[in-house]
Structure 1
Amino acid sequence: MIDGAQVQPIDHLLLCGDPARAALDGRSGSYSYAELEETLGRLAGWLAGFGLEKGARVGSWIAKGPLAALMPLAAPRAGLVHVPINPLLKHAQVAHILADSGATLLIGTAARLDSLLPSDVPVGCRLHREDDAACAMSGGVAIGPSEAAPDDLAAILYTSGSTGRPKGVMLSHANLWLGAVAVADYLKLTPQDRTACVLPFSFDYGQNQLLSTWVSGGCVYPLDYLTPRDVEKLVDRRDITTLAGVPPLWVQLTELDWPEAVASKLRRLTNSGGALTRPLVAKLRALFPQADLYPMYGLTEAFRSTYLPPALVDTHPDSMGSAIPFAEILVVRPDGSLTEDDEPGELVHCGPLVAQGYWRDAVRTAERFKPAPVASRYSGMAVWSGDTVRRDAQGLLYFVGRDDAMIKSAGNRISPTEIEEAAVAVPGVAEAVALGVKDDRLGQAVRLLLRSADPNVAQAVAAHLKSELPNFMQPKDIVVLPDFPHNPNGKIDRVALAKEYGA
Structure 2
Amino acid sequence: MSWQQAAAEIVNTLPHRIHEVMDSHVVASPDRTALIDDKASLTYRELDRMVGSTVDALRALGIRAGDRLMLVSENSIPLACLLFAASRLDVWAIVANPRLSPRELDQIRDHSGARRMLFTADISEEAAAHAARCNAPVQDTGALRGIGVSALNQVTQPEPVEADGARQVAVLIYTSGTTGTPKGVMLTHRNLLFSARSTATLRSMTAEDVQYCVLPISHIVGISLLTMTLMVGAVTRLVSKYSPAGLAKALAEEGITILNGVPATYQRLLEHKQTAGLPKLERGALRLMGVAGAPLDLELKARVEKELGLPLFNAFGITECSPGISSVRPEAPRSDNSVGTLISGIEARVVAHDGAVVANGAIGELHVRGPNVMRGYYRAPDLTAKAIDPDGWFNTGDLARFEGDALFIVGRTKEMIIRSGFNVYPAEIEAVLSTHSDVVQCAVVGRPVEGNEEIVAFVQLLKGTGATVQDLMAHVAPQLTSYKRPSEIILMDALPATSTGKLLKHKLAESLRK
Aligned twin of 1:481: none
TM-score normalized by the length of structure 2: 0.72
Does 2:181 match 1:165? Answer: yes
Listed as ranges, the matches of 1:94-243 within 5 Å are: 94-110=105-121, 112=126, 115-116=129-130, 127=136, 129=138, 131-135=140-144, 148-150=163-165, 151-159=167-175, 164-225=180-241, 227-243=243-259
Does 2:18 match 1:10? Answer: yes
Offset, 1:221: 1.0
Offset, 1:450: 4.8
Aligned twin of 1:49: 60
Q: Is the 8 A contact 2:262 2:293 kept in 1?
A: yes
Q: Is the 8 A contact 1:272 1:297 kept in 2?
A: yes
Listed one character per residue, the Cα deviations across residues 78-99 of structure 1 (whole Å, up to 9, x for unaligned) are 1211000012111111100100
Offset, 1:149: 2.7
Does 2:406 match 1:396? Answer: yes
Offset, 1:72: 2.4
Alignment counterpart, residue 496 of structure 1, candidates 476, 481, 486: 486
Alignment counterpart, residue 297 of structure 1, candidates 288, 312, 316: 316
**Which amino acid in 1 is paired with 2:486?**
A
State the alpha-carbon separation in 2 of the partners of residues 337 and 101 from structure 1.
Answer: 37
Return closer, same or farther for 1:341/1:296 CA change in 2, 3 Å cut-off. Answer: same
**Which amino acid in 2 is paired with 1:14?**
M
Does 2:260 match 1:244? Answer: yes
Aligned twin of 1:284: 304
State the alpha-carbon separation in 2 of the partners of residues 48 and 447 from structure 1.
Answer: 45
Return closer, same or farther for 1:224/1:275 CA change in 2, 3 Å cut-off. Answer: same
**Which amino acid in 1 is paired with 2:18?**
I
**Which amino acid in 2 is paired with 1:41?**
G
SS of 2:269's partner is helix
State the alpha-carbon separation in 1 of the partners of residues 345 and 138 from structure 2.
Answer: 38
Offset, 1:273: 0.7
Listed one character per residue, the Cα deviations across residues 117-176 of structure 1 (whole Å, up to 9, x for unaligned) are 99x86xxxx9463643544899xxxxxxx9953121111011265761231100111011
**Which amino acid in 2 is paired with 1:64?**
N
Q: Is the 8 A contact 2:169 2:186 kept in 1?
A: yes
Does 2:385 match 1:366? Answer: yes
Gaps of 5+ in 1: 139-145, 373-380, 407-415, 418-434, 436-443, 453-484
Report percent identity of matched pairs.
Answer: 27
Does 2:326 match 1:306? Answer: yes
Aligned twin of 1:421: none
State the alpha-carbon separation in 2 of the partners of residues 172 and 219 from structure 1.
Answer: 24
Q: Is the 8 A contact 2:290 2:314 kept in 1?
A: yes
State the alpha-carbon separation in 1 of the partners of residues 139 and 406 from structure 2.
Answer: 46
Offset, 1:309: 1.6
Offset, 1:270: 1.2
Aligned twin of 1:441: none
SS of 2:409's partner is strand
Listed one character per residue, the Cα deviations across residues 184-227 of structure 1 (whole Å, up to 9, x for unaligned) are 01111111110111111101011112111111111011112353
Does 2:337 match 1:318? Answer: yes
Return closer, same or farther for 1:188/1:488 CA change in 2, 3 Å cut-off. Answer: farther
| Relative contact order, higher structure (CA 8 A, sep 6+) | 2
Listed one character per residue, the Cα deviations across residues 232-275 of structure 1 (whole Å, up to 9, x for unaligned) are 11222311111110111111112232665722432111111112
State the alpha-carbon separation in 2 of the partners of residues 212 and 197 from structure 1.
Answer: 11
Return closer, same or farther for 1:268/1:129 CA change in 2, 3 Å cut-off. Answer: farther
Return closer, same or farther for 1:136/1:44 CA change in 2, 3 Å cut-off. Answer: farther
Aligned twin of 2:361: 342
State the alpha-carbon separation in 2 of the partners of residues 400 and 451 from structure 1.
Answer: 17
Q: Is the 8 A contact 2:66 2:92 kept in 1?
A: yes
State the alpha-carbon separation in 2 of the partners of residues 223 and 448 from structure 1.
Answer: 29
Offset, 1:113: 6.1
SS of 1:371's partner is coil
Return closer, same or farther for 1:294/1:275 CA change in 2, 3 Å cut-off. Answer: same
TM-score normalized by the length of structure 1: 0.73
Return closer, same or farther for 1:347/1:451 CA change in 2, 3 Å cut-off. Answer: closer
State the alpha-carbon separation in 2 of the partners of residues 447 and 216 from structure 1.
Answer: 39
SS of 1:360's partner is coil
Q: Is the 8 A contact 1:109 1:130 kept in 2?
A: no
Aligned twin of 1:429: none
Q: Is the 8 A contact 2:139 2:145 kept in 1?
A: no
Aligned twin of 1:65: 76
Please tell me the root mean square deviation across aligned C-alpha atoms, in Å: 3.4
State the alpha-carbon separation in 1 of the partners of residues 98 and 446 from structure 2.
Answer: 33
Q: Is the 8 A contact 1:160 1:489 kept in 2?
A: no
Listed as ranges, the matches of 1:88-99 within 5 Å are: 88-99=99-110
Offset, 1:62: 2.1
Does 2:285 match 1:270? Answer: no
Aligned twin of 1:385: 396
State the alpha-carbon separation in 2 of the partners of residues 286 and 226 from structure 1.
Answer: 22
State the alpha-carbon separation in 2 of the partners of residues 332 and 46 from structure 1.
Answer: 50
Does 2:42 match 1:31? Answer: yes
Q: Is the 8 A contact 1:175 1:352 kept in 2?
A: yes
Offset, 1:313: 3.6
Return closer, same or farther for 1:448/1:58 CA change in 2, 3 Å cut-off. Answer: closer
Offset, 1:292: 4.3
State the alpha-carbon separation in 2 of the partners of residues 200 and 489 from structure 1.
Answer: 14
Worse overlay, 95-104 or 336-345: 336-345
Return closer, same or farther for 1:282/1:137 CA change in 2, 3 Å cut-off. Answer: same
State the alpha-carbon separation in 2 of the partners of residues 260 and 498 from structure 1.
Answer: 34
Q: Is the 8 A contact 1:387 1:403 kept in 2?
A: yes
Listed one character per residue, the Cα deviations across residues 275-312 of structure 1 (whole Å, up to 9, x for unaligned) are 211101101110111x3432110110112111112454
Aligned twin of 1:331: 350
Return closer, same or farther for 1:308/1:103 CA change in 2, 3 Å cut-off. Answer: same
